[in-house]
Amino acid sequence: MIKTFPYFIFFLVVIFALLIDLYFYQGLKVISAKFRSFRKRILFRRGYWIISAGMLLVLAIGFTAMDRTKPPSIGLMRLLGFYFAILIPKLIFCIVIAAEDVFRLLKGVFRFLFHKVSPPASMEGVIYFPGRRKFVSQVGLAIASIPFLGIIHGLTKGKYKYTLHKETIFFPDLPEAFDGFTITQISDIHSGSFDSVHGVMKGIRMTQDHKSDLFVFTGDLVNNFAPEMDPWLDIFKTLRAPYGQYSILGNHDYGDYSKWSSEELKAENHERVKAHHKTLGYNLMLNENTVIEKDGQKIALIGVENWGLGFKQKGDLQKALQGVDPNAFKILLSHDPSHWDAQVKNDKQHIHLTLSGHTHGMQFGIEIPGFKWSPIQMRYPKWAGLYEEQGKYLYVNRGFGFIGFPGRVGIWPEVTVITLRRTV
């Protein structure tokens, strides 16, 4: 199977970036207009175009010439990240000067209609529209510098700023032996994006430190290619728990977002991804279930292949539930949280807790006590943290790794520890 590169979409993105550059440049011209040295003014303006257009050209050449049978180079992804670090602040700057331009337009129209100007003897040369103010452009730059610094932090530190999220969930029908039972969850490793052993080890140590009873991984071991995980196997195989390590597949584990010369090669890659789970000591669950037993009492652990709205739907919940006692306490591993709304929460078999990932919180947003926001919530209403409906719970992990944008801003990588408690 060979997929064509979306050149038309890529072309539109490049045109959009150039339009932002052109509008941003108008503000820079105002700032540099009063440079005393004509030479400095020219160097400043030309330097802007050399840097900005040059980066865009390198990215355009890099992505169109990229061999899509292999992972993209880390250098190219870093350049992409830095380009976004300057593109987003430029967009914010453009919004500021656009607001001034609207004001200038309205004021100019008012002057024209009501002649609220002092014209010379001849109306020729009357200026109805006021010019841009240097002060507004300076304010725009000051505002834009805030997200710029945040994105630079996300590219350098934020992507490995692992954060522990703890949740205690109460259930009236939890078997007594499992009162206080702990589960550590990580999701979306995306090993092909890692560029720092030291950074990854911070997350591994945080995962190990809590010594939970059960460890689960909820999908996306790689970006596309099985060899992406090879350098990290020895690190992740250290994650162990007394009641076992269980895992499922995510949408990226099927190789659907890359170019393959044959279906056989794609299938071989997929089998190797699944073999990695065994190497890691993870029990990979492919639409199946198992029993976790403690002190003679049991809970059911269920794992499905990927099922998501707009994504691969190989998950078969009914197949995975075959043989499960309808009255058992059930925990489901399902990569995409849209599965919960579409099928899980309305299933006749009461699934008490579902653990998902997939969204990454878009790797961008705001989280402060009592408030969280990310653009991803326009696509996924349930995108991070704990949700409950009619006594059924969903937890969405923010992801261990990153993909595409090589960083995280405001939505940090996550290690989750969930404690099950029995309602008295």
pTM of the predicted model as reported, rounded to 2 decimal places: 0.88
Q: Tell me if 250 sits within 8 A of 312, measured CB to CB.
A: no
Angstrom CA distances, 162 to 180, 189, 280, stand at: 24, 12, 21
pLDDT in tens, 325-339: 999 999 999 999 999
Residues 162-422, CATH architecture: 4-Layer Sandwich (3.60)
Pairwise CA distance, residues 230 & 386, whole Å: 33
pLDDT digits (tens, 9 = 90+) for 38-96: 888 889 888 989 988 888 888 888 888 777 778 888 888 888 898 989 999 999 999 99
**pLDDT of the residue at 115:** 67
| Among 182, 249, 199, 258, CA closest to 220 | 249
CA 367 to CA 412: how far, in whole Å? 9
- Residue ranges per domain, the chain? 7-156, 162-422
**Run of H or E residues at 392:** strand 392-396
Average pLDDT, the chain: 91
Q: What per-residue confidence (pLDDT) applies to 2?
A: 41
Is the pLDDT confidence value at 124 over 80? no
Residues 356, 415: Cα–Cα separation, whole Å: 13
In tens, the pLDDT along 352-400 reads 999 999 999 999 999 999 899 999 999 999 999 999 999 999 999 999 9
Residue 254 has pLDDT above 90, yes or no: yes
Please compute the mean of the pLDDT values over residues 215-235 and round it to a whole number.
Answer: 97
- List the structure tokens of 210: 């809590």
Q: How far apart are CA 271 and CA 250, in angstroms?
A: 14
Does residue 45 contact residue 24 with C-beta atoms inside 8 Å?
Answer: no
pLDDT digits (tens, 9 = 90+) for 3-30: 445 667 778 888 898 999 999 998 888 8
Around Cβ 267, how many Cβ atoms within 10 Å? 13
Is the pLDDT confidence value at 121 over 60? no
What confidence tier does 260 reach under pLDDT thresholds 50, 70, 90?
A: very high
- Dihedral through CA 208, CA 241, CA 415, CA 234, nearest 10? 60
